[in-house]
Structure 1
């Protein structure tokens, strides 16, 4: 079950001082929904994924005019990490929990193109340190045009403990060949990782789903 973090929803749909008042109310409602799922599904059958997307809009643009601004005082990234860690820690330790770090997907485009994987790496490391329970997996996006060492080099600093790393380097536009190029580049900087699409499948054209699944099968077999 994938859920957007409360931060992502508040940051995307509300503005100004309203966010300070709405955040605790909405957060409690999301956690109540989570508790309902936990009560209905056996823990060993359940995995929860928290999606962090608006977080990276704030990280990348808060210092620019018209950018996504925080609604709390203090360090911007510390506030984002603390909120994401709180959501992760709401999941019992015998339930798998993953985190998908994302730069958004509007008409299959990011709201900001990451210069490299540095902010993703820093956020993942800080989030791992901030949680009181282990994270099962962390997913990082890889833009379709990035098969260069400059993008992947920051992953050498990744420190996420026993969490599994998944790189979202499968794209429908260039299939197996494109994924292979990105896998080769990533492999020069991080030893072990799984593969996935960059931002799920839900926003792909309707007739593209089967091909995406077939690409996953071929690419995963090669891993």
Structure 2
């Protein structure tokens, strides 16, 4: 069947939360199940938001910058354990997500109460996985030593948020990007492999209580609208999803997949036949380009056909491969319109 719903992966390059939410619900009046706050302000550049927290943490110190392996990606600043510092004694500062999302929820609540947000549309929050910031900002030899305490701090931030907001109105997404950089041998790493990454992701999923929907955003990066590596097929993404579905104690409620914009090779989509989809899990595919004029004629229609063919029926939807945080601001409204246009064209 053709796609029937849309998903936004989180970031939206508009001035503030209210502008993001009003623009989204106006341009996507149907097919939207969750509403993000756009990750505006300090969170606009994803995990750069966390770098200052790392720099503020007692026991950590600036290290020499180290090149990432992915071609075209910038040299990233790094921190290390100070000489003599005990990794078990590291105490992280307030990571900032819970406070930001509580403020955004008040905007969502106001818009919902005035009828601007359609009934049933939840407030969506996005968290990077603990490994994302650890891999990005910590030298490889200290990553394993610092990851447990940072994971505990990030999970505590999420717990605080979930304790403050009504569960029937919210949803949580984990952004899974650095993990694919590691698995595709593009990022410096302390030696993580597929089983260890699946185990980590299952912990993230299970941290969200069963009465709150949880999703995974599978991402290959969006630096200057380029992946750190183009996936050869959906095989690795399917392996990760299947592994998490088996390891986690609860269902993953939605998954968004990366699909390179001009990919029309049937072999790319063929691994979807191996996807073990739990009943009720929503699937979204990145068929919406980063720029309104990037869509090659006929490409999306062919991609829709290939996805539907491999899924063998069942509902699914469309998204961009990453968020809209790196789109030019004037491009955001037409990109939102493009989500709806793809659904309209697919329905015929």
Tell me the TM-score normalized by structure 1.
0.91
**Alignment CA distance shift 1:57-1:114 (3 Å):** same
Q: Tell me the equivalent position of 1:127.
A: 244
Q: Tell me the equivalent position of 1:203.
A: 326
Q: Tell me the equivalent position of 1:44.
A: 168
Equivalent in 141, 146, 149 of residue 17 of structure 1 = 141
Cα distance in 2, alignment partners of residues 70 and 141 from structure 1 = 25
Equivalent in 154, 170, 186 of residue 271 of structure 2 = 154
SS at match of 2:228: coil
Unpaired segments ≥5 residues, structure 2: 1-124
**TM-superposed deviation, 1:71:** 4.2
* Cα pair 1:166 1:195 within 8 Å, conserved: yes
**Alignment CA distance shift 1:118-1:31 (3 Å):** same
**Alignment CA distance shift 1:34-1:175 (3 Å):** farther
Tell me the TM-score normalized by structure 2.
0.59
**Alignment CA distance shift 1:68-1:16 (3 Å):** closer
Equivalent in 105, 119, 123 of residue 222 of structure 2 = 105
Structure ID, larger Rg: 2
Q: Tell me the equivalent position of 1:170.
A: 288
1:71-127 CA-partner distances (Å, limit 9, x unpaired): 45xxx1000000011011000000000001111111111101111111011111111
**TM-superposed deviation, 1:55:** 0.5
**TM-superposed deviation, 1:177:** 5.0
**TM-superposed deviation, 1:60:** 1.1
**TM-superposed deviation, 1:174:** 1.2
Relative CO higher for 1 or 2, CA cutoff 8 Å, sep ≥ 6? 2
RMSD: 1.7
SS at match of 2:140: coil
Q: Tell me the equivalent position of 2:156.
A: 32
Q: Tell me the equivalent position of 2:189.
A: 69
Equivalent in 260, 266, 270 of residue 143 of structure 1 = 260
Question: Which consecutive segments of 4 or more residues in structure 1 shift more than 2 A?
Answer: 67-72, 175-181, 220-223
Unpaired segments ≥5 residues, structure 1: none
Aligned length: 216
**Alignment CA distance shift 1:155-1:129 (3 Å):** same
SS at match of 1:99: strand
